């Protein structure tokens, strides 16, 4: 068991078992005076049967159940709201410490993507993103990130009314910059990819980042999942304006780290995704497309063009679809795999860049 968990026990606080990866669960079982194999049984009940009542875990003996009730808990989340879009997207508001964190369930023909959040608010203040207007409160704990996935998996297991299809893909593209919560994200990924945990393939998990270079360097050889880079500009001048973090970690240094990451990554299949939000008259002109193609000429990548989605008090406008299509044609002609992201959930403010939380939005407007 780690020092943090031990400290909680010393303070008579129960450990939320959703915060433990398999190795830590084994250590916790040893702390309880149980054998390591109990960890496998407990995680089976949590992640395969979605059971949170220790008395219902029938293959655990009475003594083990009593110790679990004394020292541990499996907390269900508080759901503040659940909204259904006309396109089938569902937006859920998880309540953590009186703050709303939003998660998206996005069903498609062949897959279901769950878009999860990693922070309450975001410190990066990207000028085109609603989450940045919230400011930053704190990083989400491991259990607060895991419960976003666990809750939907549980709903899919027991109920089929709204969550009819199982999650096939997970994307860290919700509220916050995941690499600023690197320590907790590492543990989350261990839980999600472990056979006794979420059992998701590393190929099916994508982490989107604005480019926190020290954390990206730490990922090399340690974390192998699909990577998406929020680039959004063909040069430092525009990116400095759109994304202040670029003044600290510029494009050239970011691309150098990406190339290094791709040398070791198997999950990315030798290709990273470049995300590029299309802003009218800011970064959507022909010269921007040509500059972007030149910038990325030696990076193995797929470029995902994202129509910008409006939010209150923003001065930006989305590029006309004609501009976006012409932009993509230039990139395709230059040899890049280029896609235009579908606009999902816009009628419930669930599209890219719109996640802010109803209660949080009220605080901004008042």
pLDDT tens digits for range 253-267 = 999 999 999 998 888
Residue with more model confidence, 129 or 180: 180
4-8, 140-144, 250-254, range with the lowest pLDDT: 4-8
208 is in an annotated binding site: yes
Name the percent of the chain lying above pLDDT 90.
79
The torsion angles phi and psi of 175, rounded to 5 degrees, stand at -75, 135
| Correct CATH for 3-73 of 3.40.640.10, 3.60.15.10, 1.10.8.80, 1.10.150.530 | 1.10.150.530
- Mean pLDDT, range 330-354, rounded to an integer: 78
44 is in an annotated binding site: no
Q: Which long-range contacts (CB under 8 A, 24 or more apart) does 64-67 make?
A: 64/32, 64/34, 64/38, 67/32, 67/33, 67/34
For residues 134 and 139, give the distance between their C-alpha atoms in angstroms, rounded to a whole number: 14
Q: What is the pLDDT of residue 348?
A: 59
176 is in an annotated binding site: yes
79-365: CATH topology is TIM Barrel (3.20.20)
Q: What is the pTM of this model?
A: 0.92
Q: What residues does each domain of the chain span? A: 3-73, 79-365
In the chain the first and final C-alpha atoms are separated, in Å, by 45
No. of helices (H) and no. of strands (E), the chain? 12, 14
pLDDT tens digit sequence for 211-258 = 999 999 999 888 899 999 999 999 999 999 999 999 999 999 999 999
The DSSP call for residue 334 is: T
Q: Which residues are catalytic?
A: 102, 352
For residues 340 and 342, give the distance between their C-alpha atoms in angstroms, rounded to a whole number: 6
9 is in an annotated binding site: no
For residues 305 and 322, give the distance between their C-alpha atoms in angstroms, rounded to a whole number: 13
pLDDT tens digit sequence for 50-97 = 999 999 999 999 999 999 999 999 999 999 999 999 999 999 999 999
Residues facing residue 348 across a β-bridge? none
Residue among 306, 298, 299, 291 nearest 339 (CA): 306
């Amino acid at each position: 068991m780690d020092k943090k968990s031990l400290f909680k026990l010393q303070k008579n606080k129960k450990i939320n078992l959703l915060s433990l990866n398999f190795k830590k669960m084994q250590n916790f079982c040893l702390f309880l005076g149980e054998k390591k194999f109990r960890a496998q049984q407990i995680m089976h009940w949590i992640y395969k049967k979605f059971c949170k009542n220790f008395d219902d875990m029938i293959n655990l003996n009475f003594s083990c159940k009593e110790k679990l009730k004394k020292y541990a808990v499996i907390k269900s989340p508080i759901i503040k709201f659940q909204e259904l879009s006309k396109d089938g997207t569902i937006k859920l508001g998880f309540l953590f410490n009186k703050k709303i964190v939003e998660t998206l369930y996005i069903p498609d023909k062949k897959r279901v993507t769950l878009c999860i959040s990693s922070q309450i608010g975001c410190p990066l203040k990207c000028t085109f993103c609603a989450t940045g207007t919230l400011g930053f409160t704190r990083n989400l704990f491991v259990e607060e990130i895991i419960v976003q996935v666990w809750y939907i998996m549980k709903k899919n297991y027991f109920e089929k009314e709204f969550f009819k299809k199982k999650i096939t893909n997970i994307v860290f593209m919700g509220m916050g910059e995941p690499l600023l919560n690197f320590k907790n994200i590492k543990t989350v990924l261990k839980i999600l990819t472990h056979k006794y945990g979420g059992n998701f393939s590393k190929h099916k998990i994508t982490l989107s980042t604005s480019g926190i270079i020290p954390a990206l360097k730490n990922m090399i050889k340690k974390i192998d999942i699909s990577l998406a880079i929020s680039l959004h500009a063909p040069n430092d001048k525009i990116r400095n304006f759109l994304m202040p973090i670029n003044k600290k970690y510029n494009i050239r240094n970011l691309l150098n780290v990406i190339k290094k990451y791709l040398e070791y990554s198997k999950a990315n299949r030798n290709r990273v995704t470049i995300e590029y939000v299309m802003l009218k008259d800011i970064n959507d002109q022909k010269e921007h497309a040509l500059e972007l193609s030149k910038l990325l000429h030696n990076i193995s990548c797929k470029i995902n063009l994202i129509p910008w989605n409006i939010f209150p008090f923003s001065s930006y406008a989305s590029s006309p679809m004609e501009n976006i299509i012409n932009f993509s044609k230039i990139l395709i002609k230059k040899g890049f795999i280029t896609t235009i992201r579908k606009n999902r959930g816009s009628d419930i403010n669930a599209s890219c860049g719109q996640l802010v939380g109803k209660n949080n939005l009220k605080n901004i407007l008042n």
